[in-house]
C-alpha cells in the first residue's frame, strides 16, 4: 500500500530546489524502513580516504528529544520532530582505521602510489594532534553524509533542519560519550507542517572569485 506521506521520486535538481529547513513537524511517526534508507544514503557518501567517520544516534524518546532541544540553546522545535539524528564523528575510530583504508585505496589502484605515501605520512602527523585540532578536519566528512540524508529524506516527503547551535559537552554527557565522539549536528526529521518560501540566495555572479 503506498505511503500517503511519500512524495514521488524527485529529480536531484528538483530536490535541491525544493528543500527547505523545516522547523514545524506533524506528529506522525516515520516508518523504520525510511530511517534505514536515510542511513543508507549517509553510508554511501564520499569521505577522505574512504574512512567513513560518521556515526549516528537515532533518538525517538520524547524525554531525550527535549533534552537535546535544551542542549541546542532551547530550540524547542527539535523536540517536536518524530526522530532526531545525533550526527557524530568517531575520532578514535578514524585515526585507528585510516591507515588500512588508505592501503585499500592503494591496493585497488584508485589512487596513485605517490599520493598514498603522502596520505599515510599525513595520517601519522594527525595522530599527534589534539581533539580540538583534529575534530574539524573529520567533521566535514560527516557534513557530507548529513546532506545525503537531507536530500534522500525528500523522497519520502520528509523535512529536516541542520542544527549546529549546540552545546556539544551537554550532548556528550547525556549519552555518556567521551571526547572521541565529536557531535557535529542534530538533525530533526519529520513530515513538514509548514511550507517555507524560497530563502534568499546569492546569485552565481556573487559567488565567483575574480
Ligand atoms: C551548518 C548549519 C548549521 C545550522 N544550524 C541551525 C540551527 O542551529 N538552528 C536552526 O534553526 N537552523 C540552523 N540551520 C539552518 C539554516 O538557518 C538554513 O539552512 C538557512 O537559513 C537557509 O534556509 P534553508 O535551509 O531553508 O534554505 C543551520 C544550517 C547549517 C547548514
Tell which residue, 94, 93, 87, 90, has the closest CA to residue 171: 87
What number does the ligand 1 atom closest to the CA of 22 have?
Answer: 26
Q: CA 89, CA 192: separation in Å to the nearest integer?
A: 28
Cα dihedral sign for 196, 200, 205, 210?
negative
For ligand 1, atom 9, the nearest C-alpha belongs to 163
Task: pLDDT band for 1, please (50, 70, 90 cuts).
Answer: very low
For a mutational test of ligand 1's pocket, the pick from 17, 20, 21, 189, i.e. the residue with the most ligand atoms closer than 8 A to its C-beta, is 21
Q: CA 97, CA 127: separation in Å to the nearest integer?
A: 12
Rg, C-alpha atoms of the chain = 19
For a mutational test of ligand 1's pocket, the pick from 86, 146, 162, i.e. the residue with the most ligand atoms closer than 8 A to its C-beta, is 162
Cell of 119: 596520505
Q: CA 75, CA 80: separation in Å to the nearest integer?
A: 10
CATH homologous superfamily of 12-91+130-193: NADH Oxidase (3.40.109.10)
Please report, for the chain, the start and end positions of each structural domain, with discontinuous segments joined by +.
12-91+130-193
Taking 50 as the threshold, does the pLDDT of residue 85 lie above it? Answer: yes
pLDDT value at residue 2 = 46
Q: Directed axis angle between helix 168-175 and helix 62-71, to 10°? A: 150
pLDDT value at residue 131 = 86
Is residue 69 a contact partner of residue 78, using CB atoms and an 8 Å limit? yes
Task: pLDDT band for 8, please (50, 70, 90 cuts).
Answer: low
Contacts of 181 (CB under 8 A, 6+ apart): 55, 88, 89, 90, 91, 172, 175
Average pLDDT, the chain: 94
Q: What is the pLDDT of residues 88-112, one digit of tens each?
A: 999 988 988 889 999 998 898 889 9
Amino acid at each position: 500500500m503506498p505511503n500517503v506521506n511519500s512524495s514521488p521520486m524527485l529529480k536531484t535538481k528538483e530536490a535541491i530546489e525544493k528543500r527547505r529547513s523545516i522547523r514545524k513537524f506533524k506528529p506522525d511517526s516515520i516508518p523504520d524502513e525510511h530511517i534505514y534508507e536515510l542511513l543508507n544514503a549517509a553510508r554511501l557518501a564520499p569521505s577522505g580516504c574512504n574512512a567513513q567517520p560518521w556515526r549516528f544516534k537515532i533518538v525517538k524518546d520524547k524525554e531525550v528529544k527535549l533534552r537535546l532541544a535544551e542542549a541546542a540553546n532551547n530550540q524547542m522545535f527539535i523536540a517536536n520532530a518524530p526522530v532526531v539524528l545525533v550526527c557524530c564523528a568517531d575520532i578514535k575510530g578514524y585515526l585507528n582505521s585510516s591507515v588500512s583504508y588508505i592501503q585499500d585505496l592503494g591496493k585497488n589502484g584508485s589512487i596513485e602510489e605517490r599520493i598514498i605515501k603522502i596520505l599515510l605520512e599525513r595520517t601519522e602527523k594527525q595522530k599527534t594532534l589534539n581533539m580540538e585540532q583534529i575534530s574539524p578536519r573529520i567533521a566535514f566528512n560527516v557534513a557530507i553524509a548529513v546532506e545525503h540524508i537531507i536530500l534522500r529524506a525528500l523522497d519520502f516527503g520528509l523535512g529536516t533542519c541542520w542544527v549546529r547551535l549546540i552545546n556539544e559537552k551537554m550532548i556528550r554527557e547525556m549519552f555518556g560519550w567521551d571526547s572521541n565522539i565529536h557531535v557535529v549536528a542534530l538533525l530533526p526529521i519529520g513530515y513538514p507542517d509548514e511550507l517555507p518560501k524560497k530563502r534568499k540566495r546569492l546569485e552565481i555572479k556573487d559567488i565567483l572569485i575574480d
